[in-house]
Amino acid sequence: MDWQPSMSRSRLAVDIQHEVPGFALAAAFNADPGITVLFGPSGAGKTMLVDVLAGLVSPQRGRIAIGDNVLFDADRGINLPPERRRVGYVFQDARLLPHMTVESNLRFGWRRQPPERRSIEFSQVVKLLGLEGLIDRRTRDLSGGEKQRVALGRAMLTSPRVLLMDEPLASLDHARRHEILPFIERLRDEFEIPIVYVTHSIDELVRLAATVVLLDRGRLVAAGNLEELMRRLDLAAYTGGADAGAVLMATIVRHDERFELTYIAFHGGELAVPRLGLDVGRSFRVRIHARDVALATFRPVGLSTLNVIPGKITAIVGTERAPQVDILLDVGVPLWARITRKSAVDLRLTVGAPVYALIKSIAFDSDR
């Protein structure tokens, strides 16, 4: 990764080890401004790790720093209490103060920061999170989604240098999740701080993560860029492999007014999708589900599918008994196709064979 002064000043650097009876946690990673997702199955130690970052759990060994600012250093005997870490924490259950109004909740942390440290304005957060109508409400009268928005605002108003979010959407239903997600993205875009986001949802991972830290049973399995981790076959057990589909970055190339199409480029080719309301040059993340990709051994003619991309088979994953197999392709980027085992046999598909991928549809996870 390139060394950038502005980034390293606000970079969260973590290298800790902590043991409790029956469980050992060891993790080392960096988080730069943007969203770093702590991902892994339940029992991986994700929540323990964010509790360690917040100062709620003191690890036995290691160091935690934000830029030059040391929060914890076992060797030097430094261990800042939670209230002095300037680390915002959004819990799975909002944990609003029940005896206070929404406004008092929002101002609780804000008032406890010296004025010169308040880099974030009250009105700015209220507007960003759409809290105008809730200010005078009692917290118990709020819906789950509203509570979580207040919890987000409350954490941001402490002007934190790092924001921790522990499965903030897990206690919400599907509709509410989609109500909150844009707000999280707005926070990310508006404030230049590292956000450490815990989830075990692949959808949230793909939508939000710039960087992924993959944990399993207290161990760091892998850390790095989302697209790179998603294409690694050895991590398919964690990242979902073909179930999750291929994740790629795409850029808007041009709009076709006549047919209401937009052409997007990715590393390996161009795709036509129904017209998008984005400017040419904009980059965003798309997901191509394995079930939306069909294969042909020669370039098909007389076909309604617009997107046909040549590539090579990298791997064939599937058991003898299952009706379907997953084919990992290299079309410049990795791409998954889920086809029947019968087709794979009939087409004599083997690793290394050239094929054409027919992409029927593309999912846009983010609103960007």
Partner 1 sequence: MSFSLTTLEIEALTLSLRVATWSVLVSLVPGAAIAWLLARRSFVGKGLLDALVHLPLVLPPVAVGYVLLLTLGKQGLIGGWLDRFFGFTLAFTWQGAALASGVMAFPLLVRSLRLSFEAIDRRIETAARTLGAGPFDVFRNVTLPLALPGLLTGVVLAFTRSLGEFGATIAFAASIPGETQTLSLALYAAMQSPGNEDAAFRLMCLSFVVAYIALIGSEACARRIDRWIGSRA
- Give yes or no for residue 95 binding partner 1 (CB under 8 A): yes
CA 80 to chain centre: 28
Give the span between the Cα atoms of 366 and 193, in whole angstroms: 20
- By CB under 8 A, is residue 291 in contact with partner 1? no
Query: Does residue 187 interact with partner 1 by CB under 8 A?
Result: no
Does position 264 interact with partner 1 (CB under 8 A)? The reply is: no
Regarding 97 and contact with partner 1 (CB under 8 A), the answer is yes
Rg (CA), the chain: 23
Q: Do residues 286 and 361 touch, judged by C-beta distance below 8 A? A: no
Provide the minimum distance between the beta carbon of 111 and partner 1 in the complex, in angstroms, as a whole number.
9
| 88 part of the interface to partner 1, by CB under 8 A | yes
Do 258 and 324 form a contact (C-beta atoms < 8 A)?
Answer: no
User: 33, 40, 62, 109: which one contacts partner 1 (CB under 8 A)?
Assistant: 109
Which three-class secondary structure string do you get for 136-147?
CCEHHHCCHHHH
Q: In the bound complex, what is the minimum distance in angstroms from residue 155's beta carbon to partner 1?
A: 8
The reply on whether position 183 binds partner 1 by CB under 8 A is no
Q: Does 98 bind partner 1 (CB under 8 A)?
A: yes
Q: Does 93 bind partner 1 (CB under 8 A)?
A: yes
Show contacts with partner 1 in window 47-86 (CB under 8 A).
Answer: 54-56, 81-86
User: Could you tell me which stretch among 19-27, 88-96, 187-195, 256-264 binds partner 1 (CB under 8 A)?
Assistant: 88-96
Sequence-separated (6 or more) residues with CB below 8 Å from residue 314: 328, 329, 330, 334, 351
Q: Does 108 bind partner 1 (CB under 8 A)?
A: yes
Q: Which two tokens stand for residue 76?
A: 């030097």
**1 exposure class (CB count in 10 Å sphere: 0-12, 13-18, 19+):** exposed
Listed residue (152, 154, 54, 145) closest to 100, CA to CA: 154
Find the binding residues for partner 1 in span 204-263 (CB under 8 A): none
Backbone angles phi, psi at 153, to 5 degrees: -65, -40
User: What DSSP string describes 255-302?
Assistant: EETTTTEEEEEETTEEEEEE--SS-TT-EEEEEE-GGGEEEESS---S
- The structure tokens listed for 301 are 């003619």
Binder among 26, 48, 49, 87 for partner 1 (CB under 8 A): 87
Nearest to 64 by CA among 304, 312, 299, 54: 54
Kind of pairing between the strands at 283-288 and 363-364: antiparallel
Q: Which of 9, 61, 99, 127 binds partner 1 (CB under 8 A)?
A: 99
Contact between 187 and 152 under an 8 Å Cβ cutoff? The reply is: yes
Question: Which are the contacts of 59, defined by CB distance < 8 A and separation ≥ 6?
Answer: 16, 17, 18, 25, 52, 72, 74
CB nearer to partner 1: give 24 or 56. Answer: 56
Min dist. Cβ of residue 95 to partner 1 (A): 4
- Of 104 and 324, which CB lies nearer to partner 1 in the complex structure? 104
Smallest gap, in angstroms, from Cβ of residue 191 to partner 1?
17
Smallest distance from the beta carbon of 216 to partner 1, in angstroms? 26
- Out of 66, 150, 155, 331, the residue judged to bind partner 1 by CB under 8 A: 155
Stretch that binds partner 1, among 105-113, 126-134, 225-233, 265-273 (CB under 8 A): 105-113
Site for partner 1, residues 113 to 152, rule: CB under 8 A: 113, 138, 140
- The footprint of partner 1 on this chain (CB under 8 A) covers a number of residues equal to 27
Least spacing, CB of residue 265 vs partner 1, in Å: 43
Q: Return residues touching partner 1 (CB under 8 A).
A: 54-56, 81-89, 91, 93, 95, 97-99, 108-109, 112-113, 138, 140, 154-155, 158
